[in-house]
Amino acid sequence: TFVVTDNCVKCKYTDCVEVCPVDCFYEGPNFLVIHPDECIDCALCEPECPAEAIFSEDEVPAGQEQYIELNAELADVWPNISEKKESLPDAEEWDGVPDKLQHLER
Ligand code: SF4
Ligand code: F3S
């Protein structure tokens, strides 16, 4: 499965959802997650993310392993998103800022 990681927080560009053939993205206030039971590992979303926040489960950067569990947990409670929308207003400023987990809203 693929996993959305730290750099999506406060950016939420949503380019990823447009290419997903099974619509397995779920949306929170300032972050998206992938449902691990629905992702078919097609890898189409990975290169689409301007923030380079999407990784295969076994390639998640060191220190971001907790996002694997977070994707699974939040995909069960957040609503589905299948169409691209405006990124968050300060997305460019937040793109690349490290350790954004503390800013994740539920
Ligand atoms: Fe969707 Fe494919 Fe990305 Fe999985 S890898 S979330 S199926 S686009
Ligand atoms: Fe997030 Fe990248 Fe998608 S910033 S919303 S994972 S395009």
CATH of the domain at 22: 3.30.70.20
The DSSP call for residue 98 is S
Q: Is residue 100 part of a domain?
A: no
At residue 41, the pLDDT reads 98
Asked if residues 5 and 58 have their Cβ atoms less than 8 Å apart, the reply is no
At residue 25, the pLDDT reads 99
In sequence order, which ranges of 1-106 are alpha helices (DSSP H)?
A: 15-19, 66-75, 91-94
Q: Report which bound ligand comes closest to the CA of 12.
A: 2
Residue 10: CB atoms within 10 Å? 23
Instruction: Please count the residues of the chain.
Output: 106
Residue 48: CB atoms within 10 Å? 16
Provide the domain count of the chain: 1
Distance 44 CA to ligand 1 centre (A): 6
Q: Is residue 92 part of a domain?
A: no
pLDDT tens-digit profile, the chain (106 residues) = 999 999 999 999 999 999 999 999 999 999 999 999 999 999 999 999 999 999 999 999 999 999 999 999 999 999 999 999 999 999 999 999 999 999 999 9
Q: Is residue 97 part of a domain?
A: no
Q: Is residue 104 part of a domain?
A: no
Closest ligand 2 atom to 52 CA: 2
Containing domain of residue 32, as a range?
2-82
At residue 85, the pLDDT reads 98
At residue 43, the pLDDT reads 98
